[in-house]
Amino acid sequence: MTAVTTRWALFGGIPMAVLVIAAAYRAELESRPGGHKHRAVLVAGGADAHWRQVISGARAAARNAGLDLEIQLPGRGDLQKLVRHDGRNPRDELAGMIVAAEVLGVEPFPAGLPQNVKLITLGRDLAPDKRHCHVGPGDFAAGRLAASLLGEALPEGGAIVALAPDDEPGRRQVCGLRHALGVLNRASPRGDGAMRYVLESALIASSGSPLPSSLRKLIDSRPRTDVVIDFTAAPALSVLDALRSHPAAAEAELITLDNSDAALEGVERGDVFAVLAHQPYHVGYEAVAMLARMHRDGRLGTPAPGKGLINVCPRVVRQREAAAYRAAQQAHAMDEAA
């Protein structure tokens, strides 16, 4: 029995060894110039600092996944041309496309994408019926995240004013905030039975009056404002000026989605309580990583059109977290330069 078992182990392992060697040889062939490569196209929404970080994260994920990532900026050619090989090695297979919402708003959507080409959109979800996955900010989660800061910013409770864009993402942000405040009020009601946190929200049309004047009108209707949560990403210093000039809100704390250097400096000085910072590097990384998984796993790993969704929640940056946030930004910039 021992001899039979030993003989089976010896000769039964040969097919497995052959398979391993064949797989290694195939991988080596595919890594050679002219070999079979998988490429992906990222159509960015611009060339500013935000999109540079998106591209940096996408490139890092592409290196890890072994994808050949091509970066395309808006206006450098229509999306239809990117689907074709355009003189490339015909064996260079297009694994997928990652397209920014800013591009989808102005360029025709590529018709007749091959079934094996996966599509991921970034930013606003403008093509839910065509894309396999969408990677963007978690609007509902951002509202809940803002509410989670109130225990520190307003431990005794008080009056909160929330401003959001008059669109679907803005409504989701306010919905997330209201949901979390409801939980907080039920968990720790005031001794007199009143709600600990009282919320007044307003949706601001992008074409409407400037935010500071809208904010003043909202504050005028209330005897006191203790915290302002601004989801519109208006300049934080302008919002602060509007608050400080109003007696009923002069001491109000500000939580903002303004990701500018001026807002971050306001956090460092203690003028702004917190910034809900976007994470563009992680948006780019998650988009390419998801694309690589879909390409690797085929139909089993690919969501049905319109079903895939990855929310990249903002990062809280308070005064004590500002230095670490700046260090992370610098690291991403170095990764981009490399």
What ranges in 74-210 are assigned the alpha helix state H?
79-83, 101-104, 139-148, 150-153, 168-187
For residue 214, is pLDDT > 70? yes
> What is the Cα–Cα distance from 96 to 122, expressed in whole angstroms?
13
pLDDT in tens, 249-261: 989 999 999 988 9
pLDDT in tens, 61-104: 999 988 889 898 766 555 555 555 444 444 456 678 888 876 76
List the Cα angle 268/272/273 in 5-degree steps: 95
What angle do the packed helices 261-269 and 236-244 form, to 10 degrees? Answer: 50
For 150-272, give the CATH class: alpha beta
Phi-psi region of 298 (alpha: psi -120 to 50; beta: other; left: phi over 0): left
Domain ranges of the chain: 27-137+280-313, 150-272
Region 36-49 average pLDDT: 80
What are the CA-CA distances from residue 261 to residues 47, 93, 278, 312, 316 (Å)? 18, 41, 13, 21, 15
Helix (H, G, I), strand (E, B) or coil at 99: strand
Q: Which residue matches tokens 């990764």? A: 335
Q: Using pLDDT thresholds of 50, 70 and 90, give the confidence band for residue 191.
A: low
> What is the Cα–Cα distance from 267 to 318, expressed in whole angstroms?
6
Query: Who contacts 265 (Cβ-Cβ below 8 Å, separation ≥6)?
Result: none
Within this chain, domains 27-137+280-313 and 150-272 share the same CATH topology: yes
Region 268-288 average pLDDT: 94
Q: What does DSSP assign to residue 153? A: H
Phi-psi region of 54 (alpha: psi -120 to 50; beta: other; left: phi over 0): alpha
| β-strand partners of 71 | 42
What amino acid occupies position 331?
A: A
In CATH, what is the architecture of 27-137+280-313?
3-Layer(aba) Sandwich (3.40)
